[in-house]
Structure 1
Amino acid sequence: MADTQFDVIVVGGGPGGYVAAIRAAQLGLKAAVVEREHLGGICLNWGCIPTKALLRSSEVSHILHHLDAYGFSAKDISFDLKKVVERSRKVAKQLSGGVAHLLKKNKVTVIDGHGKLAGTQGGLRKLDVTKDGKPVGSYTAKHVILATGARARTLPGMEPDGKTIVTYKEAMVPESMPKSLLVIGSGAIGMEFASFHHDMGCKVTVLEVVDRILPAEDEEISAFAQKQFAKQGMTIKTGVKVSKLEKTSAGAKATIEVGGKAETIEVDKVILAVGIVGNVENIGLEGTKVKVEKTHVVINEWMETGEPGVYAIGDLAGPPWLAHKASHEGVICVERIAGVKGLHPLDVRKIPGCTYCRPQIASVGLSEARAKAAGYEVRVGRFPFVGNGKAIALGEPEGMVKTVFDKKTGELLGAHMIGAEVTELIQGYGVAMTLETTEAELMHTVFPHPTLSEMMHESVLDAYGRAIHF
């Protein structure tokens, strides 16, 4: 008979859930993961990973159409969309299989089905698991970690049909490339899909309700990004209200209001990227002390809910909606359960955010405006890609690095980048913030030449009037 009692059961096998279960097992706890669909969750199967595979293909497309700049020429450049999508799905499948291997290696029990809290039994939390509506079994554990993730938000009157009006999931497996595309929402997901389609030859229009795209980013980075996208040929409209979205015989038609004037936009396809909502339904929260606010489970700094023995991590527990945040929460949560000494709560200000459009965008910490709003007197440094030898050699001279420091203490409060490979660079500032580095240590750090990372050094120097190469 299969084991039914565990120290920790994790509901959801995404980047928060499977990492929590593996760390629990490493700490000697008997752990299980309940997953109803794909190990690796949305991130590995329908998010972070397959989108990067698609964006790699669109990056190749961009390079192929600009070969002359590198001394090459090619004729009759074309792509097979089916193969592009197949490659993306293979990458996702490989990594999902890798997660299954890691769980097996760490002796974590994987239960295939949908988990739901079902009160207590013998002083332990009880979890009922079903598959396709049929009971799989009942399980107990002292601790249950909810990691059920989130799904795309839909708005009234803008419901997706899965073909013409779609969310990220359908957008990842297109059967054909539309000639024209409307993206509603300009956050990370919206801009990644806009960038992919544009570089694959599609005419793209992006709508954003607030006054700038990428509203979570530093204002200067947002403005720089908007100029770059417009320069590439994308149409960007901000401060837009979508009053109507309807299917037509040719595709879809959006009626919008901009500056008090009504306009219509007709396109082949629409991608909705207007945020996400937590998967709080049908997981047994009714009758518990678990509190839900704005579709997310409320937790304290140790991921504990209001119900003893029940925890929540990742997208279910609210922003920032990032896989690496979910993983880190999972680790902290189980280490707290296991009684590991010297733990620190997660400081969300030190979590880097990355957007993989072209140009890439990455940030960590406070924006200049948020730092000032928090009462800091700041010093700000900037360095442009055009002043960096490696960026010019790569043929990627468009971009900038911006750093924000506390004027009184020299503490690095935030860093913001736009340009080639900045998603790989940002962790340098992440390490610096975790180590509570000041401008003095960063100035005395030797950065290798020629690299893009030298701009990180120069931006720090610029904040103190010492930039050498600009």
Structure 2
Amino acid sequence: MPDTYDLVILGSGPGGYVAAIRAAQLGMKTAIVERERLGGICLNWGCIPTKALLRTSEIYHYMQHAADYGLSAEKIGFDLDAVVGRSRKVAGQLNAGVKTLMKKNKVAVHEGVGALTGPGALSVKQGDRTVELAATNIIVATGARARDLPFAKADGKRVWTYRHAMVPPEMPSKLLIVGSGAIGVEFASFYRDMGAEVTILEMLPRILPVEDEEVSAFMGKRLARDGIRILTGAGLDGLEVGADAVTAAIKGADGKVATERFSHVIVAIGIVPNTENIGLEALGVETERGHIKADGFGRTNVPGVHAIGDVTGAPWLAHKASHEGVVCVEKIAGGDPHPFETWNIAGCTYSRPQVASVGFTEAKARERGHEVRVGKFPFIGNGKAIALGEADGFVKTVFDAKTGELLGAHMVGAEVTELIQGYVVARQLETTEAELAETIFPHPTLSEMMHESVLGAYGRALHI
């Protein structure tokens, strides 16, 4: 007889394990199936350990510029194995934390490769042994993986995905990064700060192409100033992988193809959903370009089968998956949650400097027919930023000129990934410029720039 549950979740990333906890809180007998490590890619190979690496490179950068702060530091260096080891230790600590949460909430954990085998049924292959599970409801939260180049698959030696780039066997001397989204820019920042010669290759006209154009332009200039070479409007025609180097055929914006040797290549050109071989076809679960089609409550076209997280499509963000998981479970339990929407999800890039945004860019707001008012305030006008030695960057806000609605906010500079949530809350509460202008921001803080940007949109900025 199969083990029977109210809910079985296939995948234990930020969507899966959070959904499991919420289900247990609501009194559901819950199980989770995981083929690798609890916490999924984000916790073990993505969001968290990359931030540990970036923190190391940030400190290393400051050590090299100690004189800027009246300090002295000599014989600065690093141990690559120790750098990677710290990152892996952080991931291990959080993996253990998820195990504790599962135990605390009495969520059964089945380790193995899971697949849907019929209505309300799953099998979990654990080596030579197969366990059968039955559930009233199933949530598919299998996530996604890095997309390979069709002509040069990642080998972990010379051609890397993000996963290889997190545990480098050696420090690249000359690194090519294909793709300039958040992952590409974060690794460019890390490896450049650690001393590698870095080139970013982007086929679109600007780096960080989903961000506001002013943010992209600022980042392009700042990264170039830090020694990162940026090739936009350029493509990769081919890679020849050798024992000790990679030869890349790069087609420039002028259409000409030139070859160049690199020690390593990181491919950061997007993701592929993990929807193969998990039984979706047999049940008739609808997909679109590999992603599972689900509504605002995570429901698919097949009763009792739900889907959340990266496997359902953009935005591919951990916090999106977690919230989807909560909404999905509360609906399964008979509650009345607000359907999940993507209009107010912040995006963050943890490079140096950081980038954060929420809502519409200025161009997108105008494209949608809004008459806009735009405020912008530079870091150089903020006392705390100057005291920190972080005077590069700006905060930009976009309002509807007629209603005062906050349409979008865009930031680049130190710690902006921590600041952006203020605007997320404001949008969630449908705050207008009037409430934001009357809000008292503490001094001295970086958050004061958020206030000044709002004031600036209405000609009232005080410190510029």
TM-score range, shorter chain: over 0.9
Shift of 1:287: 2.3
Tell me which amino acid in the other structure corresponds to 2:3: T
In structure 2, the partner of 1:326 is 321
Q: Which residue of 2 aligns with 1:388?
A: 382
Matched with 2:152 is 158
Looking at structure 2, the residues matched to 377 and 388 of structure 1 have their Cα atoms a distance apart, in angstroms, of 29
Q: State yes or no: 1:231 paired with 2:230.
A: no
Which residue is equivalent to 1:96?
Answer: 95
The CA deviation string for residues 354-380 of structure 1, in whole angstroms up to 9 with x for no partner, is: 000000000011111111112211111
Distance of 1:406 and 1:265 partners within structure 2: 48
Other-structure match for 1:296: 291
The secondary structure found in structure 1 opposite 2:58 is helix
Q: 126, 131, 135: which one pairs with 2:126?
A: 131
* TM-superposed deviation, 1:452: 0.2
Q: Which of 276, 287, 312 lines up with 2:307 in the alignment?
A: 312
In the TM superposition, residue 248 of structure 1 has moved relative to its aligned partner by 2.6
- What are the residue-to-residue correspondences of 1:104-115 with 2, within 5 Å? 104-115=103-114
Q: Write the mapping of 1:31-42 to structure 2, written as runs, cut at 5 A.
A: 31-42=30-41
Matched, 1:436 2:430: yes
User: SS in structure 1 opposite 2:462?
Assistant: coil
CA–CA distance in structure 1, aligned partners of residues 357 and 70 of structure 2: 34
Distance 2:184 2:209 in 1: 12
User: Could you tell me which residue of structure 2 aligns to residue 464 of structure 1?
Assistant: 458
1:269 matched residue in structure 2: 264
Partner residue of 2:169 out of 175, 199, 203: 175
Whether 1:14 and 2:8 are equivalent positions in the alignment is no
Instruction: Return the alpha-carbon distance in structure 2 between the equivalents of residues 78 and 180 of structure 1.
Output: 18
CA-CA distance at 1:83 after TM superposition: 0.4
Pairwise CA distance, 1:294: 1.6
Cα distance, 1:169 vs structure 2: 0.6
Distance 1:136 1:331 in 2: 29
Deviation at 1:450, TM superposition (A): 0.4
Q: Which amino acid aligns with 1:406?
A: D
> Partner residue of 1:377?
371
1:211 counterpart residue number: 205
**Range 95-104 or range 364-373, more displaced:** 364-373
Whether the 8 Å contact between 2:18 and 2:325 is mirrored in structure 1 is: yes
1:250 Cα deviation after fit: 3.1
Structure 2 residue runs without a partner (length 5+): none
| 2:356 equivalent among 341, 359, 362 | 362
* 1:405 corresponding residue in structure 2: 399
Cα offsets for 1:386-422 (capped at 9, x unmatched)? 0000000000000000001111111111100000000
Offset of 1:249 from its aligned partner? 4.0
Q: Secondary structure at the match of 2:297?
A: coil
Amino acid corresponding to residue 439 of structure 1 in structure 2: E
Counterpart code for 1:432: A
Give 5+ residue unaligned stretches, structure 1: none
Deviates more, 1:253-262 or 1:329-338: 253-262
Question: What amino acid sits opposite 2:287 in the alignment?
Answer: V
Mapped partners of 1:370, 1:7: distance in 2: 43
Distance in 2 between the 1:103 and 1:249 partners? 45
**Structure 2 Cα separation of the partners of residues 61 and 283 of structure 1:** 44
Amino acid at match of 1:313: I
* Residue of 259, 280, 283 corresponding to 2:275: 280
- Aligned mates of 1:209, 1:288 — CA distance in 2: 38
Deviation at 1:73, TM superposition (A): 1.5
- Structure 2 residue aligned with 1:66: 65
Residue 154 of structure 1 aligns to a residue in which SS? coil
- Checking the alignment, whether the CA contact within 8 Å between 2:296 and 2:341 is kept in structure 1 is no
Local SS of the residue matching 2:13? coil
Instruction: Letter of the 2:271 partner, please give it.
Output: I
Amino acid of the structure 2 residue aligned with 1:84: V
Task: Give the letter for the 2:43 counterpart.
Answer: L
Q: Which amino acid is the alignment partner of residue 101 of structure 2?
A: L
| Alignment partners' CA distance in 2, 1:136 and 1:98 | 27
- Give the whole-Å Cα distance in 1 for the aligned partners of 2:98 and 2:191: 30
1:422 to 406, 412, 416: 416
AA aligned opposite 2:432? T
TM-aligned CA deviation for residue 148 of structure 1: 0.2
Residue number in structure 2 paired with 1:30: 29
Aligned partner of 1:55 in structure 2 is 54
State the shift of 1:108 in Å: 0.6
For 1:69-127, what per-residue CA distance to the aligned partner results, in whole angstroms no more than 9, with x for missing partners?
Answer: 0011121111000000000000000000000100110011111111111113xxxx011
Q: How many residues align?
A: 463
Question: Aligned match of 2:341 in 347, 353, 358?
Answer: 347
Shift of 1:265: 2.1
- Please state how far the C-alpha of 1:131 moved relative to its aligned partner: 2.1
Decide which moves more: 249-258 or 404-413: 249-258
Counterpart residue identity of residue 354, structure 2: Q
Distance across 1 between alignment mates of 2:393 and 2:62: 18
Secondary structure, counterpart of 1:115 in structure 2: strand
Q: Does the CA-based 8 Å contact 2:149-2:267 persist in structure 1?
A: no
Does structure 1 retain, via aligned residues, the 8 Å contact 2:20–2:107? Answer: yes
C-alpha RMSD of the superposition: 1.0
Q: SS of the residue aligned with 1:201?
A: coil
Matching of residue 197 in structure 1 with residue 191 in structure 2: yes
1:350 deviates by: 0.4
1:326 CA displacement: 0.3
Specify the code of the residue in structure 1 equivalent to 2:329. Answer: V
For the residue of structure 2 that corresponds to 1:156, the secondary structure is: coil
4+ runs of 1 displaced by more than 2 Å?
none
Work out the CA distance in 1 between the residues paired with 2:242 and 2:142.
36
Within 5 Å, give how 1:253-268 maps onto structure 2.
253-258=247-252, 259-268=254-263
Structure 2 counterpart of 1:366, one-letter code? F
For 1:67 and 1:253, the matched residues in 2 are separated by 37
User: Counterpart of 1:349 in 2: which secondary structure?
Assistant: coil
Q: TM-score, normalised by structure 2?
A: 0.98
Partner SS, residue 286 of structure 1: helix
Structure 1 distance, partners of 2:284, 2:404, is 43
Residue in structure 1 matched with residue 238 of structure 2 by the alignment: 244
Contact 2:114 2:125 in 1 (8 A): yes
Q: Quick one: which amino acid aligns to residue 314 of structure 1? A: G
Question: C-alpha distance in 2, partners of 1:369/1:97?
Answer: 44
